[in-house]
């Protein structure tokens, strides 16, 4: 159930692994972009060792647990505004070290992401921005994708597409691998197999770190659950995006990978997955072409997960959902 206040709700089942209250505020100063990227366009076991940047604000060097906040698809102005308002607060309250957000709908019209939006999200705490089927909707973002920095797109698109979907990042003394792939079931794009792509990416990432996080951007729950099992024990966390609806199946898989089918979205609560319901309903009722518009009306909803990862083993310790309603 959703609360009508601006507080974070713990929605997981009763368990000792679910914190009933957010963590205390961290005294550690926070840099807007403490993560520095190093990417591999073609995963290879011979890729160079990644130097650890000295320019970052780091968690304690001997951090034994990495706490990461993952936000679902930000939808247009409403989603970005909600993220900007709450992301750093949540990071402080959870005492998290890393924020990953899916930005495939972050542009004002809900399609793709613009360079201006990327800058704004980074300024408000987004360390890594993942993508999806809308990653190429804004040409303005292509130069940023080509930088192969902290803006990712699904890795299983053709290599000719701008950007990459596999990254190795440093956070203090930690190395963190991130894989962004897109599913193929009920998706329009004719792209490579996300399972095999992830296998290929792991041949490199596993030589560098055991902390590996995967954003599986897909429509079908079964395909996302399938990737979770496929990668169980080989990555730290697999979370799904794209449907804009948070699922309630967060858990630790048998071999230690944290998993949730979909982490949801940030956008207008009373729209339809972030769009004005009138436009979506018109299409559903008439089957005529209708131009969807993002909904910008409050209240807003922001959903995602907080996940704890053992930095020594790379296994997930906890996966917990959060839901914020902003009136």
Q: Is 246 in the site for Fe ion (CB under 5 A)?
A: no
Ramachandran region of residue 133, left (φ > 0), alpha (ψ -120 to 50) or beta?
Answer: alpha
Choosing from 18, 86, 123, 134, which is the catalytic residue?
134
Closer residue to Fe ion, CB minimum distance, 50 or 101: 101
Distance CA 97, CA 91 (A): 7
Q: Is 134 a catalytic residue?
A: yes
Closer residue to Fe ion, CB minimum distance, 19 or 161: 161
- Burial of residue 188 (CB within 10 Å: 0-12, 13-18, 19+) is exposed
CB 277, min distance to Fe ion, A: 16
Which residue stretch of 47-55, 186-194, 201-209, 234-242 sits at the interface with Fe ion (rule: CB under 5 A)? 234-242
Are 77 and 294 within 8 A, CB to CB? yes
Closer residue to Fe ion, CB minimum distance, 78 or 252: 78
- SS3 assignment, position 213: strand
Q: Which of 271, 254, 260, 245 is nearest to 306 (CA)?
A: 260
Q: How many residues of this chain bind Fe ion (CB under 5 A)?
A: 5
Closer residue to Fe ion, CB minimum distance, 52 or 220: 220
Closer residue to Fe ion, CB minimum distance, 318 or 321: 321
Residues 214-233 that bind Fe ion (CB under 5 A): none
Distance CA 193, CA 167 (A): 18
CB 273, min distance to Fe ion, A: 8
* Alpha helices, DSSP H, located in the chain: 76-94, 115-123, 142-146, 194-205, 221-231, 277-286
CB 238, min distance to Fe ion, A: 16
Residues 122-141 that bind Fe ion (CB under 5 A): 132-133
Residues 51-90 that bind Fe ion (CB under 5 A): 73
DSSP, res 294? B
Give the contacts of 12 (CB within 8 A, at least 6 positions apart): 18, 250, 319, 320, 321
Among 105, 156, 294, 303, binds Fe ion (CB under 5 A): 105
Instruction: Using CB under 5 A, list all residues that contact Fe ion.
Output: 73, 105, 132-133, 242
Indicate which residues carry an active-site annotation.
134
């Amino acid at each position: 159930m959703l609360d009508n206040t601006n507080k974070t709700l713990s929605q997981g089942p009763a368990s000792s692994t679910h914190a009933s209250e957010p963590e205390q505020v961290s005294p550690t100063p926070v840099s807007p972009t403490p993560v520095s990227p190093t990417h591999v366009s073609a995963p290879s076991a011979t890729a160079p060792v990644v130097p650890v940047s000295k320019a970052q604000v780091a968690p304690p060097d001997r951090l034994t647990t990495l706490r990461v906040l993952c936000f679902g698809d930000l939808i247009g102005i409403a989603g970005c505004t909600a993220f900007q308002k709450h992301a750093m607060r949540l990071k402080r309250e959870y005492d998290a070290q890393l924020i990953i957000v899916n930005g495939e709908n972050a542009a004002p019209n809900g399609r793709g992401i613009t360079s201006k939006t990327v800058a704004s999200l980074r300024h408000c705490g987004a360390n890594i921005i993942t993508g999806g089927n809308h990653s190429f909707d804004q040409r303005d973002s292509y130069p940023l994708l080509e930088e192969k920095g902290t803006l990712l797109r699904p890795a299983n698109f053709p290599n000719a597409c701008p950007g990459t979907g596999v990254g190795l990042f440093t956070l203090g003394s930690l190395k963190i691998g991130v894989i962004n792939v897109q599913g193929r079931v009920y998706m329009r794009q004719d792209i490579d197999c996300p399972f095999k792509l992830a296998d290929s990416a792991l041949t490199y990432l596993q030589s560098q770190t055991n902390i590996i996080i995967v954003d599986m951007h897909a429509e079908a729950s079964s395909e996302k659950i399938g990737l979770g099992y496929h990668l169980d024990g080989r990555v730290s966390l697999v979370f799904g995006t794209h449907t804009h609806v948070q699922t309630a199946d967060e858990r630790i898989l048998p071999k230690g990978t944290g998993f949730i089918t979909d982490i949801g979205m940030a956008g207008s609560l009373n729209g339809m997955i972030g769009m004005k319901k009138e436009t979506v309903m018109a299409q559903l009722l008439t089957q005529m072409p209708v131009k969807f518009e993002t909904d910008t009306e409050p209240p807003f909803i922001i959903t995602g997960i907080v996940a704890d990862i053992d930095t020594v083993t790379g296994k997930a310790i906890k996966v917990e959902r959060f839901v914020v309603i902003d009136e």
